[in-house]
A and B are shown apart, each in its own frame.
Chain A
Amino acid sequence: MDERLLDRAFTRSNAPRWNLSRDAFARALERSIASRFATEVKTPAVVSEYVDSLNLEELALACACAEGQVSAWAYFIECHRPGLRAAARAIAGDDAGGELADSIYAELYGLEERDGRRRSLFDYFHGRSRLSTWLRSILAQRNVDLVRAAKRTRPLEEHDEAVADAGAAGVQADPERARFAGLAQQALASAIRQLEPPDRLRLSSYYLQRLTLAQIGRLMGEHEATVSRKLDRIRRGLRAEVERLLREDHRLGRSQVQACLDSALEDVGMDLDEVLGNGSARARGWQEKAGGSF
């Protein structure tokens, strides 16, 4: 790495505050640069711009914690512990939140050794985000892993089997309804695939993740009123596209289009995938909020 760039970054990072050596900071910076430009060509100018954009102070703090500097840990605990616990409670609930927050301290300190050096989770912080955001991201990742692991071992409930039977019977009873439902689902899937990724993310955040407009706005960097308008536009576009596909691709009339949508809705209540265990909290989520409309 360019020495002048390193000097500048080291000065800006205030690393001496944590008794962090220049070499240790340089290693952290190298890791960050390697991570950023793993698949892209790097020129000195681009690297310099990248380094200037980093949260260098927090990178130095994380690096010092990884090195086991006591003053850095004291500062980290004082500043980030309450936020970490609050975030864990928001993510995993009040009961599991404390446990989740506590569980990552061992990883942050680094209990495993590699090449004679402790491998701390802090090594994976590259200064591209705020340290607090990165910590919450780690918590969220751990929590999703836990939920997925728990889901894999959850037994089917007796009632679900009964509902599965009822659902199967309903589907077999009326082949025309099943065909209509299939057409509607096919058209909807096609329309969803045509959405721009940000629009699809907005829609998923609202319908599947059940975020508030303010939260979606925070995600997308928009005001909630903008989110509201965009969701409305996307939804109308989806409906128009579904109806167009049913009309033009399948030559259906207006009443048949409505019948398709009705049949698909009816299927929602007896979806075998969900009943057999593939359904998730997300599936339930939209059902609870589905009473609302834009």
Chain B
Amino acid sequence: MKPTDADRDPAFDRLIARGLERETDASGNACPDADLLAAWFDHSLSALETERIEAHASSCAHCQQILADLARSEPEVTRAAPVPAPARPWHWHWRWLVPLATAAVVVVVGTRTLRAPGEVLIPASSPPPAIGGRPSTWVELQQAPSPTQPSAQGAGGIGAQAPAGRVARNVPTAPVDRLEEPKREAARAEQKAQPAAPNADAPRNLAAAESIVSAVPPSGAAPAQAGAARKSLLPTAAGVAPAKADAVTKPVAAAAPAPPIVRAVDERGARAPRYVNREIVAPLLSTSGTGDFGATATWRYGQGGVVERSTDGGQTWDRQASGVATALIDGSAPTDRVCWIVGARGVVLRTIDGHTWQRLTSPTSANLVSVHAWSDSSATITASDRSEYETTDGGTTWRKR
């Protein structure tokens, strides 16, 4: 049973993560000191020392955390939300090389040998016109705009990422230059810190907004939609005055529904309780409603069928009755009132008013690992056995894809 592209599913990713966690030692014993870890990070250790550090750190939660913090705080590396590896494997590029090369040979040979003066010869064996198109249904699905999973952006993963940080080496430089380097770094850090100065609360809020915005699918989703989501989130998160928020959100209301965004919970877990699996933020579509719908809605859900909703950017959460007790795994919120959530044992939940949850008929009893919803009536769900089902009538009927 050789693994294929189709074997790549989120469920196995979850198992890997849990397996890694179980196999990682959290005791923090016999760890290398800060000097050695820093030297490893700067790639200035001997080969033997490097091997030792890697052997230890690969199974030590304490050291992994320190190294991760070093990477996060590296001035040269742009901070961004976790971006997945590409859904489109590299061998797809190579597969296209064969027909491309064949076509090129045919064209060259054909034009040299068969072409009459003024005649253009089109080879019958030329490859499909969409050379850069998606090569298979599976890849197509992975690359489709994903409302709840920014990490499913496929090949956009690499291309859309910030440029790789400079890999610093311990290369001897002129004395003056090396001493001046911290000054330059300091200047860069100062420059970064400048805009945050006026408002004491702004830095955190802006950082939160930035983390949300950075989770917007980098490619695949329409740029205009991503932009709309960006506009709808930033004012709320940064605490901009309501009048300003209105001004920003009006054009958004007229635009097509923006894809919801998965919000990364703080790395330290300070924001969400342990039972929460995930948070999703619905884009602000309208400010004309009453009550709490004047703000972007955020849902979070997780173990034991817990569903909670926030309309103040995550400051306060209201527990909502989901009617189920199984683990909820994925969600998708096309608007601030409509949200779909799926979970273990075929559970499909939906709310169309932002408050009341309804359990829908499920086409399968398998664990559901993914849902993409486009409206209150249209959604696609994926089971752990990789089967996909689509509904266009609010879950009354499902069609296997």
Q: Do the beta carbons of B16 and A128 come within 8 Å of each other?
A: no
Any A CB within 8 A of the CB of B36: yes
Q: Say which one of B55-63, B99-107, B237-245, B391-399 lies at the interface with A.
A: B55-63
Query: Which of A211, A225, A274, A293 is the one whose CB lies under 8 Å from B71?
Result: A211
Assess A208 versus B64: contact at CB under 8 Å? Given A134-B38, A288-B262: yes
Q: Which residues of B contact A184 (CB under 8 A)?
A: 15
**Interface with B: A1-9, A19-27, A198-206, which one?**
A198-206
A-chain residues with CB within 8 Å of residue B59 when the two chains form the complex = 197, 200
Q: Decide if B266 is an interface residue (CB 8 Å cutoff).
A: yes
Question: Do B10 and A292 have beta carbons less than 8 Å apart?
Answer: yes
Contact B72 A91 (CB under 8 A): yes
Q: Is the CB–CB distance between A284 and B265 below 8 Å?
A: yes
Most buried by A among B24, B33, B83, B370: B83
Q: Which has the most chain B C-beta neighbours within 10 Å: A157, A212, A279, A286? A: A212
**Residues on A with beta carbons closer than 8 Å to the beta carbon of B3:** 236, 239-240, 243
A143 in contact with B385 (CB, 8 Å):
no
- The answer to whether A262 touches B13 (Cβ under 8 A) is no
A-side contacts of B149, CB under 8 Å: 291-292
Q: Report the Cα distance A124→B17, complex, angstroms.
A: 35
Known contacts A269-B303, A279-B274; A291/B71 CB under 8 A: no
Closest to B325 in A: A166
Stretch among A63-71, A75-83, A110-118 lining the B interface:
A75-83
Contact call B14/A268, Cβ cutoff below 8 A: yes
Hey, which chain A residues are within 8 Å of B384, CB to CB? 261-262, 265
Point out the residues of chain B lying under 8 angstroms from A236, CB to CB. Answer: 3, 7-8
Q: Which of B219-269 contact A (CB under 8 A)?
A: 262, 264-269
* B42 CB contacts on chain A under 8 angstroms: 128-130, 133
Cα separation A212 to B211 with both chains bound (whole Å): 13
Name the prevailing secondary structure of the A interface residues.
helix
Q: Which A residues touch B10, using CB under 8 A?
A: 290-293
Contact B73–A139 (Cβ < 8 Å): yes
User: Taking the complex as formed, is B320 at the interface, i.e. its CB lies under 8 A from any CB of chain A?
Assistant: no
CB 8 Å contact bits of A99-124 with B (1 = contact, 0 = none): 00000000000000000000000001
Interface pair A218/B325, CB less than 8 Å apart = no
Task: Check A290 against B13 for contact (C-beta < 8 Å).
Answer: yes
- In the bound assembly, the distance between CA atoms of A128 and B37 in angstroms comes to 10
Partner of A80, one of B22, B165, B186, B267: B186
Q: Which residues of A contact B78 (CB under 8 A)?
A: 214
Interface centre among B38, B80, B266 (most CB of A within 10 A): B38
Residues of B within 8 A of A277 (CB): 274
A235 touches B8 (CB 8 A): yes
Of chain B, the residue at the smallest CB distance from A269 is B327
Asked whether A83 and B186 contact (CB < 8 A) given A130-B42, A293-B9, the answer is: yes
Min CB distance, B202 to chain A, in Å? Answer: 9
Q: Mark A119-156, 1 if CB is under 8 A from B, else 0.
A: 00000111011111110111111011001100000000
* A-B CB contacts (within 8 Å), total count: 431
Say yes or no: is B321 at the interface (Cβ < 8 Å to chain A): no
Nearest Cβ in chain A — how far from B370, in angstroms? 6
Residues of A within 8 A of B203 (CB): 89, 94
State whether A159 and B306 are in contact (beta carbons under 8 Å apart), knowing that A128-B35, A185-B22, A284-B265 are contacts in the complex: yes
Q: Kindly provide the distance from the CB of A242 to the nearest chain B CB, expressed in whole angstroms.
A: 8
A163-B275, A211-B68 known; A55+B167 contact, CB < 8 A: no
Are A210 and B175 in touch, CB under 8 angstroms?
Answer: no
B185→A83 contact, CB < 8 A: yes
Q: Is A250 an interface residue (CB 8 A)?
A: no
Q: Mark out the residues of chain A between 268 and 294 whose CB falls within 8 Å of any chain B CB in the assembled complex.
A: 268-271, 273-275, 277, 279-294
Q: Does A183 contact B (CB under 8 A)?
A: no
For residue A273, which residues in chain B have a CB less than 8 angstroms away from its CB?
22
Judge if B295 is at the interface, Cβ distance under 8 Å.
no
CB contact between A219 and one of B12, B71, B163, B274 (< 8 Å): that residue: B71
Q: By the criterion CB–CB under 8 Å, are A57 and B178 in contact?
A: yes
A238 touches which of B16, B302, B367 (Cβ 8 Å): B16
Say which residue of B69, B71, B82, B345 sits within 8 Å of A289 (CB atoms). Answer: B82
Chain B residues, CB < 8 A from A157: 273-275
Given A93-B266, A224-B158; A291-B35 close (CB under 8 Å): no
B286 within 8 A of A: no
Is the pair B85, A209 in contact by a Cβ cutoff of 8 Å?
no
Complex CA distance for A212 and B157, rounded to whole angstroms: 10
A86-B189, A140-B65 given as contacts; is B158 within 8 A of A288 (CB)?
no
Tell me whether B283 is interfacial, beta carbon within 8 Å.
no
Give the residues in chain A near B352, CB-CB below 8 Å. Answer: none
Say yes or no: A132-B182 contact (C-beta < 8 A), given A90-B79, A213-B157, A218-B74. yes
User: Which 8 interchain pairs have the tightest Cβ spacing?
Assistant: A292-B151, A269-B327, A286-B17, A281-B269, A140-B69, A291-B149, A209-B68, A129-B38
Please, could you name 7 A-B residue pairs with CB atoms under 8 Å apart, sorted by A?
A91-B69, A94-B207, A129-B35, A192-B20, A203-B20, A217-B165, A269-B343
Given A83-B189, A235-B13, A266-B344, 12 additional A-B pairs, CB 8 A: A94-B196, A138-B34, A193-B23, A204-B24, A205-B68, A208-B61, A212-B162, A221-B167, A264-B15, A265-B15, A286-B21, A291-B10
